[in-house]
Structure 1
Amino acid sequence: MHLFLLLILQATAAIGQIDPAHCRYALGMQDGRIADDDITASSQWYETTGPQYARLNREEGDGAWCPEGQLEPSDSQYLQVDLGRLTFLTVVGTQGRYARSNGNEFARAYRLNYSRDGLLWKSWRNRQGNTVMEGNKNAYASVINDLHPPIITRLIRLIPVTYLSTTVCMRVELYGCPWDDGLISYAAPEGQLMMPPGYPIASLNDSTYDGAHERRRLFGGLGQLTDGVVGLDDFLLTRQYHVWPGYDYLGWRNDSLGTQGYVEMEFVFDRQRNFTSMKVHSNNMFSRGVKIFSSVSCWFKPRLIAGWEAEPVAFKTVLDDRNPSARYVTVPLNRRTAKSLRCRFYFADIWMMFSEISFQSGNTHTHTHTHTYIPVMTLLMTSTSATVNASTSDPPDEANTPILIGCLVTIILLLVIVIFLILWCQYVCKVLEKAPRRILDEEFTVRLSSCSPACDPHYERVFLLDPHMLKVETETPLSSSACGGGYAEPDITQCTPHQCFHSNAPHYAETDIVRLQGVTGSNMYAVPALTVDSLTRKDISAAEFPRQQLIFREKLGEGQFGEVHLCEAEGLPEFLGEGSPLPDRDGHPVLVAVKQLRADATSQARNDFLKEIKIMSRLNDPNIIRLLCVCVSSDPLCMVTEYMENGDLNMFLSQREIESTLTHANNIPSVSLSDLLHMSVQISSGMKYLASLNFVHRDLATRNCLLDRRLTIKIADFGMSRNLYSSDYYRIQGRAVLPIRWMAWESILLFCDVWAFGVTLWEIFTLCKEQPYSLLSDEQVIENTGEFFRNQGRQIFLYAPPLCPPSLFELMMRCWSRDIPNRPSFEGLYQALRPHVNQ
């Protein structure tokens, strides 16, 4: 029973913190889980165009919901959907009325209103304050709009917007997930401006708050503390929304709140709950006077009309003056029951900043009207809670005692079964991790034929796609190009990856590739075994740098066994001597990226780290990140690399527009078409160098291309961007985290840098304004790989970016050829791109 309670605590601890990048499930318009009675409208043209027909990709009735008459610009007709419970809404999809090609009405734009209680309605606006969303351009294609910020609501209204008198019809799907946190509003003092000397002004207000602002206080709404976006370690940096410094945090200065020395916040929930804990994501950049709170006291109110209970829960934190990383602070709430909480957070320094607050609780009432499944563990918890409440409130009649005993026995048996299943699943997962060569599911197998009659007849491997998508057992010839191993890689003793598709090569054997799993969580490179052997037999060629001359500035990234820090390296140019790869610093301090192995790293991670150093020390190309020196004479082991002042290419381009008279006149950061072409050539040059060494990058994308202050691109992959770009990665069946939107269709078996290079070109010429296949969910991206496999003409390609010359898009399409031999090599890509720069 104790084990079961521990499992319950762990399960509840995971509830309430929502990642908007993964909370994208269809809520039931298309498949009918949302009932007709829950879909209403302000009006309808005919019975056959009523709101019940407003279901995406469905054509019952006359094919859509159409409001009555011609829609005027001043009209506010709406389609209303009752989701049945509080929901974290992240995406809206719309279509027009197609009606089997008989209709041609659609909404070119629309607004959203929402309500958590059916009484108070609020208008959604994006992070720039705009309320109108782009709608459809024709009657049949669906348009998917991500909500930035997301909405926490139970009722949603879609209000078509028109600028002319016209007929409008709509079909809709809504995407998100249940809001199990239950929080419906919080109240707090308004955030304040911070003016750090030498830095831009940080506005630490709650800019997406949907409640009231009165007397410098927020109340009655939700905002950035519940949007699922966690602030960065440096509060002046934001997560790609083209907003101001400090945007992700709500912050207060100690002396601005009088002499009380604390910030008081009040939280109101949808119903009475048993609270286990509160998690507060707090900044801790102590070098700028910011720390997590020193202590917190919380009072509880069981009902809205009741008073506050006298005895609070108090919690004192452990302050950290060494690590400036932002972090979650978990406050135990001792299973106190309440519908409202009032918490006082006490200052530990000049400033206190929060970016997210979530609550973990067990419900004290069941929720009947819902369109989603209730987890089994929640049902068990509710049953147990109900039984305990019954036994502690009123003494049961003797006639009911056998029934209660029977219920308890049944619950205990169910708990034993659940515990057994959990332990069995853990055992099976461990077995599968230790035996990756075993076929996980014999029903879904792809047989790969060899590329030569001299090879073994078949090489079997599971195609790790959605089982409902792929049910094949066929023979498909696959050969290699400039592609390295995922599950199967070329035998380098026979041929290089570039030679394999020109000659008859043996079957792929994964034993001939060494993968460097970077200690910061990234797959650094896949390296042929022969190359590794020839390199690692030598000593480390990088010089030992005095670690006391590395001055910590901030943390850039982290993984399971290591971290990447930004440091100032005193005396590094003199240490490296003549021929130093460092650019002229013009008197500025030398900043470097320091990759450090953690003290608790395994011996295998330590060996991989040293092996990575040996190989990195022999990479020498102007477009590959450079290893400068090491600190390996004592622990912790460190490697010191170049630091790129302009960050990664994704962030750089997403903050710029294409160069024009308008950008020059308004001093808007911009890039020219020739800049984009030059960037493309640099990346192809760096990849050509890696390919010449038979290295396979395995994660080529703009997020892993860094820029120095002279806009020289250097390819890297040190896990620096994994937290920032977590939505670019997808965990398939509990295995490795994969960048599926950059991977070739066959990449479950092979990793192809050439395909990823084509996607990277596409990113560059869209100025990284959207994610590849942004209209597809992760599951649909994987499904699309199955269409490439089946090759029946239904596969989806990335569209041609408007900035991209036709000849260059043709080059991208060659990178995405289904058959690997038809893809160009990096040498060919480099030669094809160079003339574009000179035009």
Structure 2
Amino acid sequence: MLLFLLLTLQTSAAVGQIDPGHCRFPLGLEDGRVKDEDISASSKWYQTTGPQFARLNREDGDGAWCPEGQLERSDSQYLQVDLKVLTFLTLVGTQGRYARGLGKEFARAYRLSYSRDGETWKPWKNRQGNAVIEGNKNTYAIVYKELHPSIIARYVRLIPVTEHSSTVCMRVELYGCPWHDGLISYSAPEGQLMMPPAYPPASLNDSIYDGTHERRPLFGGLGQLTDGVVGQDDFLLTHEKQVWSGYDYLGWRNDSLGTQGYVEMEFVFDRQRNFTSMKVHSNNLFTRGVKIFSSVSCWFKPRLIANWELEAVTFRTVLDDRNPSARYVTVPLYQRTAKALRCRFYFADVWMMFSEVSFQSGGNLPLSLLYFPAAAPSANDTTEGTNTPILIGCLVTIILLLVVIIFLILWCQCVCKVLEKAPRQILDEEVTIRLSSCSDTIIMQTPPVPPRAGHAPTGRGPRAACGGGYAEPDVTQCTPHQSFHSNAPHYAETDIIRLQGVTGSNMYAVPALTVDSLTRKDISAAEFPRQQLIFREKLGEGQFGEVHLCEAEGLPEFLGEGSPLPDRDGRPVLVAVKQLRADATLQARNDFLKEIKIMSRLDDPNIIRLLCVCVSSDPLCMVTEYMENGDLNMFLSQREIESTLTHANSIPSVSLSDLLHMAVQISSGMKYLASLNFVHRDLATRNCLVDRRLTIKIADFGMSRNLYSSDYYRIQGRAVLPIRWMAWESILLGKFTTASDVWAFGVTLWEIFTLCKEQPYSLLSDEQVIENTGEFFRNQGRQIFLYSPPLCPPSLFDLMMRCWSRNITDRPAFDGIHQSLRRHVRE
């Protein structure tokens, strides 16, 4: 079976090109995989005819999306769908508004536009240049329309078209499959015209290219090289009707490009990728002066703003003067990492012609093994019809997928056994790693510590739970008979409980003490009248609760003298309210009360404080401080560094001294947490709040906010980890300590001095970030560090680099970090 699987994978990889005839899977409007928030529109008639109701075969709301008012011929009302990933779109299905027999509106025609980045929109046209697609003739029947050519996009807009003023409503489904190549544009010389008498007439231009022409070259788009249509052996023959000879190929004549003897093309991708190979479908009709390229040289660019790397990959082809068949030529790229490629294809004869180009990068399985929902009907099918070839293809795909799953399960079991039997030496202590099946929490086990004089042998060390939120105390470095420092208590593993916060993601390692018997009577925070909390907006939500932004009427008077609230100048007091859902489990309710007790212990000017609670009745609430300028990430990302230009144009700005002041405050707050042996585990600018005086307070509910969902890596659909801020030992070993908080502080400092304009390691995928932590562990000089921000003084970047030291003992303590940053402020 394993041999069959390997042969199957190799065969699939050898084809490696999307087939529009089989890439016809529903993309999720009908079944709800496309969420309501990812469907928008230029307008809507009523709330009940909003864009979220534009789902094929669904009768929710009033039965469809309807733009506001009568649609005129000149209108450009649209329904927009965000597919979240680059997608190869081949088919569109549309319906009118049936509304259980009461509807009478439908679109007789429509146009499409699409975008790969959400900014540049491109109109779709068929191969004959027509942009209008025939729509529906009644309110109930589904009309499927093939897209020739197909579309590669993330965002799609459907624009209803009408000849006369009328009301229009639509329900839709899109069909296609993920575009795993990740290619978002290629640039090349424009194709040329083959002229008689030496050659038969053929136009070898890229007629469907959706980029721009700058002095004739193709630039910034995709076209026939990515349409999935492979050219035939005779380049004069075409797959399409009513097109000209040579239509399927993009071709160039050697002598028309000067004396260089090559065609240069550039390829740009959605993200940095680790390339294994490039496949070029090339014509080889040598009897007419056409051959595959003799050789190719490719250069790589890790970032679009970087220079091309000097070292190129060169590949020489084996020329074939006996077989005139067109063929794929596979060019090995040797795991080179880049976001853009520049390749020079050298002529072997008078003409060179390509019909398709595709790329394979590390970790990408063939399409047939990655995507397998039910196939869509063809454009000629009725709603009751079936498509036998596609059904057979789906069944074969499912069988192959099952084989792959079985193989992966067996392989994982084998690897896990090897890991369990092969302890490694890490940081001078042996550890074994396993993944808890019940909670997706990484569990670290340390071996027994040799007994000292007068002490009994010690047991296993305590667990380190993963996730955001504070942890108390920092016991992952302690044994049951060794405290973290002289006056810190010590706890055996049985004394540590795991606590899940109100948002469903925060995890705490909390000393049990008497907290297991905690009741509402044990809470020292004052009970605040909940009717005086005025809801303003939802900040975030989790599995068991929500975080709301509220105004608290009369809160300063309620707290009395010594209130931690600053002078509000008569303005309403903004607070963050963590609220437990009424249907939360008993365990969640107990954890909520424990979280209140933890928060009540924190008292520092740079830490968000618990102000009061509402626990006398359901729903349980805790009220904490909130800052009017929101979180630091949003605050800085909307500003520029202070200059004459920003003053002249009234652009919101901050100065370098402001940034240093913010860094000092964050280090002060973390110094306080470290003094209590609390571990934050999710330190980042999104978890720092800012007031109008640029005071910073560290919070812990950034993980619950949808705005920052992309900052967290999801494990098996449940646990989420801020891997771009985490130390290598936290990712690989589940080991969270004050030293791992220091690592996260270094990343936070980097965010501050880039004004939060980009995500850390923005050119790496989540999987590549995890791979990079393995390089930190191996420590062979191949690990990738964050670059030095232009605004950052060299001495501060040195501090960041020390925060990212591979060895825990080499990282500075927060006390030293705070003193170092204060010296920078004084300078």
**Bucket of the pairwise TM-score, normalised by the shorter protein:** 0.5 to 0.7
Mapped partners of 1:695, 1:382: distance in 2: 52
Relative distance call for 1:615 and 1:306 in structure 2 (3 A) is closer
- 1:218 — aligned with what? 76
The answer as to whether partners of 1:300 and 1:342 remain within 8 angstroms in 2 is no
Aligned to 2:233: none
Query: 1:302 and 1:676, CA in 2 relative to 1: closer, same or farther beyond 3 A?
Result: closer
Rate the CA distance shift 1:216–1:828 in 2: closer, same or farther, 3 A.
Answer: farther
* Alignment pair present for 1:582 and 2:565: yes
Task: Check conservation: 1:520, 1:559, Cα contact below 8 A.
Answer: yes
1:705 matched to 2:680? The reply is no
Correspondence for 1:461 among 423, 433, 438: 433
1:607 matched to 2:590? The reply is yes
Q: Distance between the aligned counterparts of 2:390 and 2:134, measured in 1?
A: 36
Please say if residues 368 and 397 of structure 2, whose CA atoms lie closer than 8 Å, have aligned partners that are also in contact. Answer: no
Q: How many Å apart are 1:668 and its aligned residue?
A: 2.1
**Aligned-residue offset at 1:379:** 6.2
C-alpha distance in 2 between matches for 1:296 and 1:523 = 48
Residue by residue over 1:394-440, the C-alpha shift from the partner in whole angstroms, topping out at 9 and shown as x without a partner, is 9xxxxxxxxx9x999x89997997999999999x99xx9xxxxx998
The residue number in structure 1 matching 2:616 is 633
Secondary structure of 1:381's partner?
Answer: coil
> Superposition RMSD on alpha carbons, in Å?
5.7
Whether the 8 Å contact between 2:96 and 2:107 is mirrored in structure 1 is no
Q: 2-side partners of 1:546 and 1:297: how far apart?
A: 52
Relative distance call for 1:583 and 1:531 in structure 2 (3 A) is farther
Partner of 2:91: 271
Find the counterpart in structure 2 of residue 782 from structure 1: 770
Q: Which amino acid aligns with 1:728?
A: D
1:520 is the counterpart of 2:503: yes
Counterparts of residues 304-703 of structure 1 (less than 5 Å): 309-312=136-139, 337=144, 359=173, 373-375=366-368, 381-382=374-375, 441-444=416-419, 447=423, 458-462=430-434, 485-486=465-466, 489-491=476-478, 493-497=480-484, 513-523=496-506, 525-529=508-512, 539-703=522-686
Deviation at 1:777, TM superposition (A): 1.7
* Contact kept? 1:644, 1:708, Cα under 8 Å: yes
Offset, 1:85: 6.4
Q: Unaligned regions of 5+ residues in structure 1, if any? A: 1-30, 36-82, 89-151, 153-179, 193-212, 230-268, 279-294, 314-333, 345-355, 395-403, 433-437, 465-473
Deviation at 1:376, TM superposition (A): 6.0
- State whether residues 526 and 696 of structure 1, in contact with CA within 8 Å, keep that contact through their aligned partners in structure 2: no
Offset of residue 732 of structure 1: 3.6
Distance in 1 between the 2:15 and 2:646 partners? 48
Which of 727, 747, 753 is 2:710 aligned to?
A: 727
Query: Structure 1's 589 and 417: CA in aligned 2 closer, same or farther, altered over 3 A?
Result: same
Q: SS where residue 106 of structure 2 aligns?
A: strand
Offset at residue 495 of structure 1 (A) = 3.9
- Whether contact under 8 Å (2:505, 2:704) holds in the other structure is no
Structure 2 distance, partners of 1:801, 1:787, is 23
Structure 1 residue 312, shift from structure 2 partner: 1.7
Structure 1 residues 649 and 784, CA gap change in structure 2 (3 angstroms): same
| 2:784 corresponds to which of 769, 775, 796 | 796
Pairing 1:742–2:730 present: no
**In 2, distance between residues paired with 1:276 and 1:368?**
32
Distance 1:305 1:420 in 2: 42
Q: Offset of 1:760 from its aligned partner?
A: 0.6
Q: Report the Cα distance in structure 2 between the residues aligned to 1:521 and 1:373, rounded to whole angstroms.
A: 35
Structure 2 partner of 1:108: none
| Cα distance change on mapping 1:725 and 1:658 into 2, 3 Å | same
The 1:376/1:485 distance shift into structure 2, 3 A limit, reads closer
Once the 2 structures are TM-superposed, how far is the Cα of residue 658 of structure 1 from its aligned partner? 1.7
Q: Secondary structure of the residue that 1:724 maps to in structure 2?
A: helix
Contact 1:536 1:615 in 2 (8 A): no
1:40-81 Cα offsets, whole Å, 9 max, x none, are xxxxxxxxxxxxxxxxxxxxxxxxxxxxxxxxxxxxxxxxxx
**Percent identity between the two aligned chains:** 63
- Take 1:830 and 1:796, find their aligned partners in 2: how far apart are those partners? 26
1:773 aligned to 2:761? yes
> 8 Å contact 1:525–1:695 — kept in the other structure?
no
C-alpha separation in 2, matches of 1:816 and 1:393: 58
Match of 1:42 in 2: none
Task: Say if 1:440 and 1:682 are closer, same or farther in 2 by CA, change over 3 A.
Answer: farther
Indicate if the aligned counterparts of 2:94 and 2:136 stay in contact, CA closer than 8 A: no
Preserved contact between residue 20 and residue 90 of structure 2 (Cα < 8 Å): no
Which secondary structure state, in structure 1, belongs to the residue aligned with residue 706 of structure 2? coil
Is the CA contact (8 Å cut-off) linking 1:522 and 1:718 kept in structure 2? no
The residue type equivalent to 1:461 in the other structure is: I
Equivalent residue of 2:417, what SS? coil
Match of 2:749 in 1: 761
Q: CA deviation at 1:753?
A: 0.5
Work out the number of aligned pairs and report it.
Answer: 519
Give the distance between the partners of 1:716 and 1:569, measured in 2 at CA. 19
What residue in structure 2 maps to residue 815 of structure 1? Answer: 803
Q: Corresponding residue for 2:470?
A: none
Separation of aligned partners in 1, 2:805 and 2:768: 20
CA distance in 2, matches of 1:190, 1:648: 32
**How far apart, CA to CA, are the structure 2 residues paired with 1:763 and 1:531?**
40
Q: Deviations over 1:715-760 (max 9, x none)?
A: 1111466311122111245552111111111112212111001111
Change (3 A) 1:782 1:358: farther
Contact preservation (8 Å) 2:541, 2:704: no
**In the alignment, does 2:794 pair up with 1:806?**
yes
8 A contact 1:523–1:699 mirrored in 2? no
> Greater CA radius of gyration, 1 or 2?
2
Tell whether the 8 Å contact from 1:656 to 1:767 is kept in structure 2 after alignment.
Answer: yes
Whole-Å Cα distance in 1 between the matches of residues 133 and 787 of structure 2?
Answer: 59
Q: Which runs of 5+ in 2 are unaligned?
A: 1-12, 28-32, 46-70, 111-130, 148-157, 162-169, 178-226, 231-355, 359-364, 437-445, 450-460, 468-474
Alpha-carbon contact 2:40-2:81 (below 8 Å) kept: no
With over 3 angstroms needed to count, the CA separation of the structure-2 counterparts of 1:422 and 1:782, relative to structure 1, is closer
Preserved contact between residue 297 and residue 343 of structure 1 (Cα < 8 Å): no
State TM-score, norm by structure 1.
0.51
- Conserved 8 A contact 1:597-1:636: yes
Deviation of the 1:788 alpha carbon: 0.9
Distance between the aligned counterparts of 1:513 and 1:699, measured in 2? Answer: 20
With over 3 angstroms needed to count, the CA separation of the structure-2 counterparts of 1:625 and 1:357, relative to structure 1, is: farther
Deviation at 1:273, TM superposition (A): 3.8
CA contact (8 A) 2:92 2:144 kept: yes
Matches of 1:822 and 1:591 in 2, distance apart?
Answer: 41
User: Structure 1's 672 and 498: CA in aligned 2 closer, same or farther, altered over 3 A?
Assistant: farther
The residue number in structure 1 matching 2:823 is 835
